[in-house]
Amino acid sequence: MEIIDITNKLSEFEKHLNLNRQTILSAKFGDGKTYFLNKYIEQNEDDTFFIVLHPVNYVVSSNEDIFEYIKRDILCALMQTEELQNIDWKKTIKDVLLGNDIAELTDDILTVLAPHLQ
């Protein structure tokens, strides 16, 4: 099977993302969305912070539950990064589970992430 050169498409996609911060990438199953995004992440991982979610795991849930699952998955992904070693994760998880001062928690996480946000 011949690999299709997507170099120009990756460049076009980056330009698009710089102009449009909210983008939905949609195509039918098997059209190469995951391949394309993996190549884009590979190309930009040094200067961009990526969190990849797999929403197929949420398909049988209600909308309210989906948002909770997304928040949980983002938190789990953040916990695995070296960038966030200064956060007290035990306290963070307790705060999230108990609903304690989410604004303060968000500020703490954003303070650590700020150098990586553009």
What confidence tens digit (pLDDT) does each residue in 60-100 have?
767 777 777 787 788 778 777 776 677 776 777 676 666 65
Contacts of 50 (CB under 8 A, 6+ apart): 41, 44
Percent of the chain with pLDDT over 70: 71
Give the per-residue pLDDT at 15: 93
CA dist., res. 57 & res. 28, Å (int): 18
Structure tokens at 25: 């990438």
Write the DSSP symbol of residue 61. Answer: S
pLDDT digits (tens, 9 = 90+) for 20-37: 888 888 889 889 998 999
Percent of the chain with pLDDT over 90: 20
Alpha-helical segments (H) within the chain: 7-19, 33-44, 63-79, 89-98, 102-113
